[in-house]
Amino acid sequence: QVQLVESGGGLVPAGGSLRLSCASSGRAFSSYTMGWFRQAPGKEREFVAFISQSGGTTYYADSVKERFTISSDNAKNTVYLQMNSLKPGDTAVYYCAAKTAWGISQRSSNYDYWGQGTQVTVSS
């Protein structure tokens, strides 16, 4: 069983920055692909970014590329999402997720464990 706890959300003006954290209780954290997803009101959950088990591969949705950075600290069992140049369109609940099977994926259905989410609101 893996528990994920996100933190770091909040209200920020357009152009501002936030760093989200996701702490995992899983003993095999370094063997998971970790992803960030988001869901805005009235919209489906969408992929934001993932980082591979080795940390050597990262991938971003086009909408956040060059603005968001995903990273992980295996010693702390924590994955981060640094969000810069935030836009009102980034407003959503952000979820981290763990994919325990080998391989990388953008599909939410391939992730086995999910956090409770943290709200990010960007004001115009």
Residues of the chain falling short of pLDDT 70: none
So what's the pLDDT on residue 48? 98
Question: What is the per-residue DSSP string for the chain?
Answer: ---EEEE--EEEETT--EEEEEEE--TTGGGSEEEEEEE-TTS--EEEEEE-TTS--EEE-TTTTTTEEEEEETTTTEEEEEE-S--GGG-EEEEEEEE-SSS--S-GGG--EE---EEEEEE-
So what's the pLDDT on residue 28? 77
So what's the pLDDT on residue 31? 84
